Amino acid sequence: MDFHALLRVIHITGFAAWFGTIFATLFLLKTLEPGLTGDKQQANDHSLLLRRFIKLETKMADVAVISVILSGLLLAHFYEGWTPWVFAKIGLMLLQIALTMGFIVKAIQPITYPCDTAQYTAWYRLFTISFSMFAVVLLVTFFLR
């Protein structure tokens, strides 16, 4: 078996799974928005569902991110070399994780449900950060290299 091909498959699959978990969360939050910004009982039910989903989504995203990082490091070490592009991608990944986690702690965790629509838009700002960083990573990886 070709170890290089296996590492590339793991790397690409991990990235796709990470990206997919973000999309799944966006779709769920868009669907739950009326319930989370509505009456108290419905918001309680929907927030329980959201918390359970986020817990599972976080496990999936963690596995995906770890697989991307480990396979990327192994690809760099054994096949690509430690070029400036590899360090740029590492920096972008760290920046994406830091921006996402920082925004979650600052703007998402304080939200209590039901909330008003203006407060709920913090979720959409989180997705703007995530998708923008994914776009930058893909741009650097595929078009600027």
Per-residue model confidence (pLDDT) at position 144: 77
Q: How confident is the model over 129-138, as pLDDT tens digits?
A: 999 999 998 8
The answer to whether the pTM exceeds 0.85 is yes
Residue 7: closest CA among 78, 58, 64, 88: 78
Q: Distance from first CA to last CA of the chain, Å, rounded?
A: 28
pLDDT at 145 over 70: no
What ranges do the domains of the chain cover? Answer: 3-143
Residues of the chain with pLDDT > 70, as a percent, come to 99
Residue 21: closest CA among 69, 50, 62: 62
